[in-house]
Chain A
Amino acid sequence: EIVLTQSPGTLSLSPGERATLSCRASQSVPSSYLAWYQQKPGQAPRLVIYTASNRATGIPDRFSGSGSGTDFTLTINGLEPEDFAVYYCQQYVRSPHTFGQGTKLEIK
């Protein structure tokens, strides 16, 4: 099983700042099979980034993804109030498809 470890667990920032979220895999993951999701309280997750670096439909360009192999990053530039949420990375190259434990992005 590929274990995804996200850091930090909680990130406290102010609107307008840049957020950098990390996702580290226990085995190499092809970029094509790495996604990021955003989840707000009481809501289903929402696809933000697919293939490690492509934004899903409707996602603002302040969101960007990068990385390869075992290290992936989600960056949010100029945080807006609606960006504060929990973010999960997911790999689906190998069964079981696994998620990271999540990074909570909270308002400082």
Chain B
Amino acid sequence: QVLLKESGPGLVKPSQTLSLTCTISGGSISSDSYYWNWIRQLPGKGLEWIGYIYFSGSTYYNPSLESRIAISVDTSKRQFSLRLTSLTAADTAVYYCARSARDYYYAMDVWGQGTTVTVSS
């Protein structure tokens, strides 16, 4: 059973940079059958797709965040990471990582439990 787990700081100061990591267990990250997403959910709000990465390192970002984000992958550790710069309170959210699978026409079939990030001084 494939499991995803997010890790990172729960509290970050405004203007700083957020770094989150998603660790995959029970499966491979190095397959062209998958790509790996970051999604966030603002407090009491809906879902916002941030971007995704293939194991090869190719990335696709939400244009609204593209200037502030970078997603990277470390296949040796079975991890992929999100870096979000110039944080403001508006970035306070639950951040999820999720897998998109070819078997599901790249719908997101496995999700992490989410990690809450608060941006506050």
Contacts and interface: CB of A to CB of B under 8 A. Distances in A.
Contact of A44 (B48, B62, B63, B113): B113
For chain B, the bracket of interface size reads 20 to 34
Contact of B108 (A35, A57, A96): A35
A50 B99 CA distance: 14
Interface string B72-116: 000000000000000000000000101010001111110111100
A75 interface: no
A97 B96 contact: no
A40 to B, nearest CB: 12
Contacts of B64: 96
Given A98-B49, A99-B49, A100-B46, A92 B106 contact: yes
A57 B2 CA distance: 14
B107 A50 contact: yes
Given A44-B113, A44-B114, A46-B111, A99 B48 contact: yes
For chain A, the bracket of interface size reads 20 to 34
Interface in A82-108: 88, 90, 92, 95-102
Given A44-B111, A50-B107, A97-B49, 10 more contacts: A45-B47, A45-B108, A50-B104, A56-B109, A90-B49, A90-B108, A92-B106, A95-B63, A97-B62, A100-B46
21 contacts: A32-B105, A33-B105, A35-B104, A35-B107, A43-B113, A44-B113, A45-B96, A46-B111, A47-B107, A50-B104, A51-B104, A54-B104, A56-B104, A56-B109, A90-B107, A90-B108, A92-B107, A98-B49, A99-B48, A100-B46, A102-B47
